[in-house]
Structure 1
Amino acid sequence: MTIYFFSQLVLNWYHENGRKNLPWQINKTLYTVWISEIMLQQTKVKSVIPYFKKFILNFPNIKSINDSNVDKILHLWSGLGYYSRARNIYKSAQIIKKKHQGIFPSHFSDVIKLPGIGRSTAGAILSLSLNFFYPILDGNVKRILIRYNGIIGYLQDRTIEKTLWNIIKIITPVHNTGKFNQAMMDIGSKICLPKQPKCNVCPLNQKCIARLEENWEKYPIKKIKKTCPKRISWFIIIEFKNTFWVEKNITNKLWNNLFCFPRFDNEILALNWIKEKKINTKKNEKITPFSHTFSHFILDIHPILIKLSCMSNFYEKNNIGLWYNLQNPQNIGLPRPVQKIIEMFKKNALKRKEYEKQ
């Protein structure tokens, strides 16, 4: 199969089956494509769509990001995970204001220098928004090329990646680059799946080595999964009349710049902190522990609830803490586990209101 025929099959499939109505594909600009590509890093389209819509509604352009602050960016990002992406968007907006007059750059050399943007993401932004000739090599594209060419190796192997870049540069068409790149991502996410690929409807199945060998599991080689390590955290939840004390994390890499309940590595440290702060409480209530899974470890969370009878019992006079209000929540970034706990208290508060009405 010639190089031209490969790209033409991909483009023909795109015209019939490709995704063309995703939120960032409608009235697309460099800005909207940039935001979508950052959100789509390690995150599925289905999960990104509601976050993208809300983000663009609140931040329609780069100026609106610069006029805001990182807390509001993280607030809208809360729950999407990989929060360094949100911080990189804020940092990039500041760089664009300073070096590019507030306009997202259209030169590859400028785009790739922005925080959180690598070779593939830069190529995706410029090709999808402006149809510039830049190939991409995300996880979906890698999987297609490895299976199609029968390449033995791991997705993460640098030698394999170098080979794949050489291949994708050759097969990416000069014309319709954006459509081709979108098609390759769509085929990877809809057909050439990591597990149980739909080879019978793949436009590339005639010459695909994995298909011809009827052994897709061979490509790519799967690394033996390591046992995911576990960590433990103790949350001190201090409640006063439907407000909760949270502190901005400015020292720990985990949930950096997000607001969290006071967090400790063991119960002794947590209880000692309560004593040191002279929190006047006669009873601590332990909430059922739960786990939160990260990409590289599992966090077992043990919450301890302290209910205050008056605000004077606890007050931290500093710039990193605030009382989070359930009824009138502040625009701050919260990690998913903190959101989960707060949602539980919201539901309980609603139940109490309904009970009182009866």
Structure 2
Amino acid sequence: MTKYIFSQFILNWYHKNGRKDLPWQKNKTLYTVWISEIMLQQTTVKSVIPYFKKFILNFPNIKSLNDSTLDDVLHLWSGLGYYNRAKNIYKSAQIIKKDFQGIFPDQFLKIIKLPGIGKTTAGAILSLSLNFFYPILDGNVKRILMRYYGISAFLKDKKTEKKLWKIIESITPIYNTGKFNQGMMDIGSSICTPVKPKCKICPLNKECIAKIEEKWEQYPLKNIKKIYPKKTSWFIIIKHNNYFWLIKNTEENIWKNLFCFPKFNSKKIALKWLENKKININSHEKMTSFVHKFSHFSLHIHLILIKISCISNFLQKKNSSIWYNLKNPQHIGLPQPVQKILKNFKKDVF
């Protein structure tokens, strides 16, 4: 199959079957496509849709982003994960205000310098919003190319990635680049999937080496499964009626700038902290533990519930802690496990 025919097959398929009604595909602008592309990094379309709608409703443009606080942005991002993406969006908005008069740039070399944006994301923003000729090479596109051309290698191999860039640059059409890129991503997410691909309905199946050999699982090669470390954390939940005490996390490793319950590496340290705060540790209740999985480790979370009769002054700190009101929640960023815990308490709020 020639390079022209390859791209035409993708475009024909996209015309008939491609996704055209996603929220960020309506009334497209550089800004809305940028937000969607950042959200879609390492996250499924299904998960992103409600977050994107809520985000654009609250921040319809770069000015509204700059008029907000990082806490406002993290609040809307809570539960979507990979919070550095939200922080990069907020940083980028400030850069755009300072360097580009508040207008999202339409030049590749300017876009790629913004925080959290690489070659593929910059290309996607320009091709999907303005139909500029910029190829992309996300995980879906890599998988299609490796199966079609029979490249049996690891996805993250640098030599392989360099080879794949040459291929995608040669087969991406100059015209209708946006539709081609979207078609490739759609086929990768719905047909040429990591497991059990639907080869029979793929527009490329006649000359796809993985299909001909019936060995799709060899393209790309599977990484050896890593055994991720297990970590333990003890959360102290201090509750006063419908209020919960939360601390702004300053640690670099996880949940930076998000609000969390006081957390400790062991029960002994947690109880010692309560003792130092002169809180009656005999009144504590142990709640059901659970596991929260990150991309690189799993966190076993144990919960200690302390119910207090009045809000103590010693728990008040400037900006670094708040009494979170479950009835009328403040606009702050919350890690997913904290959201999960608070949701359980919300059932009892009237």
**TM surpasses 0.5:** yes
Distance 1:186 1:314 in 2: 54
Q: Which residue pairs with 1:103 in the alignment? A: 103
Distance 2:252 2:10 in 1: 45
Q: Which residue pairs with 2:121 in the alignment? A: 121
| Equivalent pair of 1:123/1:135 in contact (CA under 8 Å) | yes
SS at match of 1:184: helix
1:91 paired to 2:91: yes
**In the alignment, residue 92 of structure 2 is paired with which amino acid?**
S
**Structure 1, 171-180 or 246-255: larger mean CA deviation:** 246-255
Q: Which residue pairs with 1:264 in the alignment? A: 264
Q: Provide the aligned C-alpha RMSD in A.
A: 1.0
**Structure 1, 165-174 or 278-287: larger mean CA deviation:** 278-287
| Equivalent pair of 2:230/2:300 in contact (CA under 8 Å) | yes
**Structure 1, 238-247 or 280-289: larger mean CA deviation:** 280-289
**In the alignment, residue 26 of structure 1 is paired with which amino acid?**
K
1:67 paired to 2:67: yes
Distance 2:203 2:129 in 1: 25
What is the Cα deviation at residue 74 of structure 1? 0.3
Q: Which residue pairs with 2:141 in the alignment? A: 141
Identity of aligned residues (%): 69
| Equivalent pair of 2:274/2:281 in contact (CA under 8 Å) | no
Q: Which runs of 4+ in 1 moved over 3 A?
A: none
| Equivalent pair of 2:271/2:281 in contact (CA under 8 Å) | no
Q: Which residue pairs with 1:239 in the alignment? A: 239
1:226 paired to 2:233: no
Distance 2:288 2:252 in 1: 25
Per-residue deviation, residues 262-309 of structure 1 (Å, max 9, x unmatched): 011111111111112222454111111001111111100001000001
Distance 1:32 1:206 in 2: 37
**In the alignment, residue 79 of structure 1 is paired with which amino acid?**
G
Distance 1:276 1:109 in 2: 54
SS at match of 1:79: coil
How many residue pairs match? The answer is 350
Q: Which residue pairs with 2:306 in the alignment? A: 306
With over 3 angstroms needed to count, the CA separation of the structure-2 counterparts of 1:281 and 1:264, relative to structure 1, is: closer
**In the alignment, residue 339 of structure 2 is paired with which amino acid?**
Q
Distance 1:116 1:80 in 2: 16
Distance 1:317 1:149 in 2: 60
What is the Cα deviation at residue 313 of structure 1? 7.1
**In the alignment, residue 219 of structure 1 is paired with which amino acid?**
Y
Query: For 1:192-341, what aligned pairs fall within 5 Å after superposition?
Result: 192-280=192-280, 282-312=282-312, 314-341=314-341
Per-residue deviation, residues 127-150 of structure 1 (Å, max 9, x unmatched): 000000000000000000000000
User: Structure 1: which 5+ runs fail to align?
Assistant: 351-358
Distance 2:267 2:74 in 1: 29
Distance 1:317 1:167 in 2: 56
Q: Which residue pairs with 1:24 in the alignment? A: 24
SS at match of 2:239: strand
**In the alignment, residue 224 of structure 1 is paired with which amino acid?**
I
Q: Which residue pairs with 2:45 in the alignment? A: 45
TM-score (normalised: structure 2): 0.98
What is the Cα deviation at residue 314 of structure 1? 4.9
Distance 1:59 1:302 in 2: 36
| Equivalent pair of 1:281/1:307 in contact (CA under 8 Å) | no
SS at match of 1:337: helix
Distance 2:31 2:19 in 1: 19
Per-residue deviation, residues 224-262 of structure 1 (Å, max 9, x unmatched): 101121110000100011100001112332101100000
**Structure 1, 263-272 or 327-336: larger mean CA deviation:** 263-272
Distance 1:317 1:76 in 2: 24
TM-score (normalised: structure 1): 0.96
What is the Cα deviation at residue 184 of structure 1? 0.2
Q: Which residue pairs with 1:77 in the alignment? A: 77
| Equivalent pair of 1:279/1:313 in contact (CA under 8 Å) | no
Distance 1:197 1:311 in 2: 56
Q: Which residue pairs with 1:183 in the alignment? A: 183
| Equivalent pair of 2:327/2:349 in contact (CA under 8 Å) | no
Distance 1:313 1:176 in 2: 63
| Equivalent pair of 2:247/2:261 in contact (CA under 8 Å) | yes
**In the alignment, residue 87 of structure 1 is paired with which amino acid?**
K
| Equivalent pair of 1:281/1:308 in contact (CA under 8 Å) | no
Q: Which residue pairs with 2:171 in the alignment? A: 171
SS at match of 1:291: strand
Distance 1:309 1:155 in 2: 56
| Equivalent pair of 2:275/2:281 in contact (CA under 8 Å) | no
SS at match of 1:302: strand
Distance 1:252 1:204 in 2: 45
